[in-house]
Amino acid sequence: MEILLQFPTVMFFPFLIFFYYLFQWRSGITKINPSSKNVAPEASGAWPIIGHLHLLGGNSIPHLILGAMADKYGPAFTIRLGMQPTIVVSSWEVAKECFSTNDRDLATRPKAIATKLMGYNYALFGLTHYGKYWRQIRKIATLELLSNRRLEMLKHIRALEIKALVKDLYKGGQNSSLVDMKKWFGDLTFNIIVRMVVGKRYFDPESSAADAKEALRCQEGIRDFFHYIGLFVVSDAFPFLEGLDLQGYEKGMKRTAKNLDSIVEGWLNEHKQKQKGLSANYDKAKGDQDFMDVMISMMEDSKFDDYDADTVIKATCLNMILGGNDTTVKVAVLRIFFMASLPSLIPAVASAADLPPLPADSLSLNTDAATLGSAHL
């Protein structure tokens, strides 16, 4: 809503109304039929064109506003975010129904400028709309990339990376040096994911300066991706404003997309060169295939109407890295924090992880840092 206040009201709203009706006339707008018995009630207070956006602005936290609406309208109701009708669910029973009985209807994703610009024009299957392409990529990801057999073949990567970084953590503890656990888990997760997807290991004492620089570029690109994907963009609520870049976000999204694509494109070219060199013995090397190797092989027998083979490979591999990196790091850091806050949990955690018994007082927490043995976290 702040962007609406950056323009003179007399000039902006006539401009907005004009393009609203022009867009409505040319393409039509998805409307919710209030007479249908199967449609959740719409919250009151909507304004023309902007819908309920004005209710979600200001100093109030959006989830508290939606919670107050849920108390009034029930566990499922609809609001309009600009021109986009949206259903809000606040009950686990309704949420379960959404992901079971009506999972196909809710499998799609809304179109967003961030997904378009940074996701190879909606080629990231985790953020694309439901359709033939989504079904094809989901099948490949489920049966080939993330199958139990494939993960079993690559489990040694997880073990080796954890062992190597725990060894580095132990050395840091001996020197009584501070350890940034967010960075530590970030490097660990990044090494595991990237090594499984493209077979590269970056954060290593023996890594070259070029590899270290590329790793930092990739991590920066991932951070920028999640930053832009979480922003409110005016053109998502008002599609007829796409291309005007009123907030200046699209320029940053294009820069992030170019950065990530240059890295993934380099990985793809390396894999193609490697496969050419292994052409005679390639069948013998299949046991060492990473996800990108598998995708290249799958593209020989697969056809996609909307995207070329290289775009599908790059988008799918990038999707795997994005999906396995950010959330994993945050969950791991939270677990460390809770263990430090509740030392009584440490023996149970050690037992569940098949670790040697740890005394409950081995992990302590203060307002500045936690300590594990002699290591400062």
Per-residue pLDDT tens over the stretch 186-223 = 888 888 999 999 988 887 767 778 888 888 899 899 99
> Does residue 187 share a domain with residue 246?
yes
> Does residue 91 share a domain with residue 156?
no
Tokens of 268: 């793809």
In a domain, 263, yes or no: yes
In a domain, 127, yes or no: no
Burial (Cβ within 10 Å: 0-12, 13-18, ≥19) of residue 60: exposed
- Residue ranges in the chain whose pLDDT is less than 50: 1-11, 25-32, 34-35, 280, 284, 365-377
Per-residue confidence (pLDDT) for residue 14, from 0 to 100: 56
Residue 181, C-beta contacts closer than 8 angstroms, at least 6 positions apart: 333, 336, 370, 377
DSSP class of 6? G
> Does residue 161 share a domain with residue 86?
no
The alpha carbon dihedral of 313, 203, 115, 245 has a sign of negative
In a domain, 355, yes or no: yes
| Amino acid at site 198 | V
Per-residue confidence (pLDDT) for residue 188, from 0 to 100: 86
Q: Name the residue with tokens 């499998």.
A: 107
Question: For the segment 22-61, what is each residue's pLDDT rounded down to a tens digit?
Answer: 555 444 444 445 445 567 888 888 888 888 888 887 778 8
Give the whole-angstrom CA distance, residue 249 versus residue 135.
Answer: 31
> Does residue 226 share a domain with residue 364?
yes
> Does residue 164 share a domain with residue 74?
no
- The residue segments making up the domain with residue 45 are 1-95
- 118 in Cβ contact with 271 (< 8 Å): no
> Does residue 319 share a domain with residue 223?
yes
In a domain, 200, yes or no: yes
Closest Cα partner for 222 from 254, 247, 256, 185?
256
> Does residue 181 share a domain with residue 91?
no
Half-sphere exposure of 298 (CA within 13 A, CB side): 22
Per-residue confidence (pLDDT) for residue 177, from 0 to 100: 63
Report pTM. 0.77
- 370 in Cβ contact with 377 (< 8 Å): yes
Per-residue confidence (pLDDT) for residue 4, from 0 to 100: 45
User: E strand or H helix at 79, and its extent?
Assistant: strand 76-81
> Does residue 292 share a domain with residue 197?
yes
Residue 132 — φ and ψ, nearest 5°? Answer: -60, -45
Integer angstrom CA distances of residue 285 from 194, 195, 274, 279, 298: 19, 16, 11, 10, 16
| Amino acid at site 263 | I
Per-residue confidence (pLDDT) for residue 278, from 0 to 100: 65
Per-residue confidence (pLDDT) for residue 173, from 0 to 100: 58
> Does residue 72 share a domain with residue 156?
no
Instruction: Count the Cβ atoms, other than its own, within 10 Å of residue 361.
Output: 8
Tokens of 111: 């179109």
In CATH, what number is assigned to the domain containing residue 251? Answer: 1.10.630.10
Give the whole-angstrom CA distance, residue 54 versus residue 37.
Answer: 28
In a domain, 147, yes or no: yes
Per-residue confidence (pLDDT) for residue 235, from 0 to 100: 87
Instruction: Write down which residue in 65, 80, 95 finishes a domain.
Output: 95
Give the whole-angstrom CA distance, residue 362 versus residue 339.
Answer: 11
User: E strand or H helix at 270, and its extent?
Assistant: helix 249-277
Instruction: Write down which residue in 69, 95, 121 finishes a domain.
Output: 95
Integer angstrom CA distances of residue 307 from 128, 141, 234: 13, 17, 27
Q: How many domains does the chain have?
A: 2
